[in-house]
Chain A
Amino acid sequence: KAGVTQTPRYLIKTRGQQVTLSCSPISGHRSVSWYQQTPGQGLQFLFEYFSETQRNKGNFPGRFSGRQFSNSRSEMNVSTLELGDSALYLCASSLGEAGGQPQHFGDGTRLSIL
């Protein structure tokens, strides 16, 4: 069974640009969550989508947005990039029907802002 796939693996952008990251969940998983991981802050929750609807949102500015498609694939967009947005962005999927289910992670997209 294929795991969670994130593309691209690496991205280099400059301040002010925007970026779109993609995530394909495990087949059959309907919930997709996004996290930002940095050495200082650890894993910070961005948002969760379930059946194309945003079900939960973390404490990030509106420059961070996402969406989910009918096939459960998800994209995350960051506009007006800042130096502090440099991080590993992780996507995780779960069955999502109820709480208490583990999330399974992809290997992330490493975003570097110059």
Chain B
Amino acid sequence: EDQVTQSPEALRLQEGESSSLNCSYTVSGLRGLFWYRQDPGKGPEFLFTLYSAGEEKEKERLKATLTKKESFLHITAPKPEDSATYLCAVQTGANNLFFGTGTRLTVIP
């Protein structure tokens, strides 16, 4: 059964304290793995697409990496404005898109 699991559910960091969010997946044929950021009352905002193991993408303080079983979203020296829920989604070979339940990140000044 296709499944996407994100951990931790919630994460509190001090400003400047780097950490990583995890997205593990079990799917039949990976066509792409997507990271999104969602703020309260808003729709998910696209961050990255990763297609194959070993691939890395960076944007400001965020860096996404991919292995054959999981992806990490590394946050370096976070700021309070990085507080949001981060969602991971996996597209299968059948073109279905499965979302994890997200990690709620809070960065404390």
Ranked nearest first, the 10 interchain pairs of A and B with the lowest CB-CB distance are A105-B43, A100-B32, A43-B99, A42-B101, A99-B31, A100-B31, A107-B43, A105-B44, A102-B46, A99-B95
Report the bound CA distance from A36 to B85 in whole Å.
Answer: 16
B78 on interface, CB distance cutoff 8 Å? no
- Distance of B31 from chain A, by nearest CB (Å): 4
Q: Which of under 10, 10 to 19, 20 to 34, or 35 or more describes the interface residues of A?
A: 20 to 34
* A102→B44 contact, CB < 8 A: no
Q: Which of A42, A103, A106 contacts B97 (CB 8 A)?
A: A103
Main secondary structure of the interface of B (DSSP, over half): strand
**Can you list, as one digit per residue, whether each of B22-59 has a CB less than 8 Å from chain A (1) or not (0)?**
00000000011010100001111110010100000000
Contact A102 B43 (CB under 8 A): no
New A-B pairs, 17, CB < 8 Å, besides A56-B95, A99-B93, A107-B43: A6-B43, A45-B96, A55-B95, A90-B44, A99-B31, A99-B32, A99-B95, A100-B32, A100-B51, A103-B34, A103-B97, A104-B46, A105-B36, A105-B43, A105-B46, A107-B42, A108-B42
